[in-house]
Chain A
Amino acid sequence: MSALLVAGDLLREARSRRWTLALAGAVTLALVMVALGLRLEVVDGALAATRLFGGTLDTDIRSVDVALRPLFAATSWLVFFGGTLFGIAAVSDFAPSMLAPGRVEHLLSLPVQRWQLLLGTFLGVEALVLGGALYGGGGMALLLLAKTGVWNPGPVLAAGMAAVAFAPVYAVMLGATLLARSAALSAAAGFLLFLAGVVAGKRDAISPVFKPGAARAMFLMATAPLPRLTPLAEAGADLAQAKPLAVWPLLGFVAGAALFAAAALALAAARFERKDF
């Protein structure tokens, strides 16, 4: 319960921060630009003329939902990668500000355990990122629906997957902040884990690049414990392209990301528990 109270306070603080409001404004501006720039004309449910940002989309496909699948897929990729990277930049300052001298002492004197403080911060940031991603992804899906009459849930799923992928990323960012209280270090750690997670998601495809033997084994060993983030990104795009969604493997990747996040949080909590302020 205390962790949820901490998460609620983090969301309240985010709401009152100019930086968060500016980021929300930037996402809104992007949506408005898309709404104004994307000119699609659909007649009687068939594709009469499709104009994307003023350019003609040459296609002999007559069904509009099929013709627009690449657009929805691209939107899903954008929502996943843009949302995650945007999230890293947007929330990197929360933990350092919570651990600021004078503030952390006050928080630790209140009736809340250290692990609850950490978990609450994690949950608050996750909720913020999920909200932001859903706003961006859902907004894009709704805009395209309004323009074309086609509903494609790909961007919305991509937003959800971005929030899942953000869990291990932010757990590592929290851990990094406990080592050194710096927003830049926190963002760098998150970005590195995100890159590593993308690579780990394609480890089977990448491993042949390495010579069989020690180099390949080391690559596979190094990427083994990392969360597989690429399949999470692919899920939204696959759904957008009406490809069958492999639910069980996807759930496995989601569980893997959650497990990594839980392990990273547990390590961060152990460090936090012993730390003097």
Chain B
Amino acid sequence: MTVAIEAQGLEKTYRGSLGRGGATALRGVDLRVERGTAFGLIGPNGAGKTTFVKALLGVVRPTSGRVSLLGGDPDDPAVRRRVGYLPERLALPPAWTPVEVLKAVARLKRLGPARAEVARRLEEVGMAEDSGRKVGGFSKGMKQRVGLACALLGSPDLLVLDEPTDGLDPLARVEVRSLLAREIGRGATLFLNSHLLAETERVCGRIGILVEGRVVREGALSDLRAALPRWRLRLAGPEAAIAAAGFSSGGDGSFAFEGEAEAMNAALDRARGAGALVLEVAQDSKDLEAVLAEAVGNEAPGREAGRP
């Protein structure tokens, strides 16, 4: 599998006014994202996520370190032609219609006559009906959809999306998720920076946690969400006997058990012996919020102010 994004020792310090009192946003970030995968970058505010995304695309010049996109230099127009980017706070020419915006992007990406694709992309993001209206009168969510259509133009090999569902209503988020799933399905690499952990969890297979300008944890979502010695069950039968077997009742036939798998099975045997019927057993695992909180907690001492 080839590498879509590779950052080595990436550092960024913003100079303060008159060259004094700079703020360090990235402190030696090393990261690899394989092609065809969906990678989510999460972290607390001020962790350096947006700076990292901007450094990937050459919008911010790294103080030191190296970035490669799709095996090439991010400054190379041939590489950028294969990248679709949605910035965090997208601003579009207010006097233009979505069609004009997308056509301008298509021209700069040298996509040739792109009328059909422009119409298709606007349809995909649910903006076909508003394609003749001026962008200046759009809500944040509508602008975000136009920006997403821009990023998808030309079916790029790498999609870098900074808070893509920000400002979207829940239904639109679902649509965007399925759109992104289709893009991943056709082989595109997705790099997602989002503070919406549930979104990241649903879309991305691998997660990186950035805290204070460093990647403190990185891996497959399933590995990060390590299973906990905690179980949730649905049991039918005499409640007193089930409780006596070691389960704590949550009401409506739901029970919980804290302990390793062997202990839980032994308790289940006791409950079944007393006439209980097992309907459902599920092991608890950490959600991404807990993983992030743990990562931030571990890194918390000595945190310094950094620019996002």
Interface residues in chain B, defined as those with a beta carbon under 8 Å from any beta carbon in chain A: 14, 54, 57-61, 75, 77-78, 80-81, 83, 85, 87-93, 95-96, 100, 104-105, 107-110, 134, 147, 150, 160
Contacts and interface: CB of A to CB of B under 8 A. Distances in A.
A96 B78 CA distance: 27
B14 A103 contact: no
Interface string A95-123: 00100111111101111110000000000
B77 A108 contact: no
9 contacts: A13-B93, A102-B88, A102-B91, A108-B58, A109-B58, A109-B85, A111-B77, A113-B75, A276-B60
A2 interface: yes
Contacts of B81: 111
Given A2-B77, A13-B96, A102-B87, A108 B104 contact: no
Given A13-B95, A16-B100, A108-B57, A5 B107 contact: yes
A9 B54 contact: no
B289 to A, nearest CB: 28
Given A5-B107, A102-B91, A106-B87, 6 more contacts: A16-B100, A105-B54, A106-B90, A109-B58, A110-B105, A111-B80
- The listed residue with most B CB atoms (<10 A of its CB), out of A18, A100, A105, A113, is A105
A17 interface: yes
Interface of A: 2, 5-6, 8-9, 12-13, 16-18, 97, 100-106, 108-113, 274, 276-277
Closest 7 A/B residue pairs (Cβ): A102-B91, A111-B77, A109-B85, A16-B95, A103-B91, A105-B87, A102-B89
B78 to A, nearest CB: 7
Residue among B81, B95, B96 with max Cβ neighbours from chain A (10 Å): B95
B12 to A, nearest CB: 8
Nearest to A111: B77
A109 B80 contact: yes
Consensus secondary structure, chain A interface: helix
Contact of B59 (A6, A13, A17, A108): A108
Contacts of B80: 109-111
A2 B78 CA distance: 13
Nearest to A15: B95
A276 B50 CA distance: 12
A274 B138 CA distance: 33
Contact of A109 (B59, B61, B93): B59
A144 B201 CA distance: 72
Nearest to B83: A109
Given A100-B91, A276-B14, A110 B108 contact: yes
A44 B119 CA distance: 62
A274 to B, nearest CB: 6
Contacts of A104: 59
Nearest to B60: A276
Contacts of A101: 89, 91
Contacts of B100: 12, 16
B59 A277 contact: yes
B84 to A, nearest CB: 8
B77 A113 contact: yes
Contacts of A274: 61
Interface centre among B54, B59, B160, by most chain A C-beta atoms within 10 angstroms, is: B59
Nearest to A21: B95
B260 to A, nearest CB: 50
Nearest to B108: A110
A6 B77 CA distance: 14
A113 B110 CA distance: 14
A111 B59 contact: no
A33 B215 CA distance: 68
A49 B135 CA distance: 55
Contacts of A276: 14, 54, 59-61
A9 B85 CA distance: 19
Nearest to B55: A276
B108 A5 contact: yes
Contacts of B89: 101-102
Contacts of B110: 111
A276 to B, nearest CB: 4
B61 A16 contact: no
Nearest to A102: B91
A8 B100 CA distance: 12
B83 A18 contact: no
A145 to B, nearest CB: 35
B292 to A, nearest CB: 25
Contacts of A100: 91
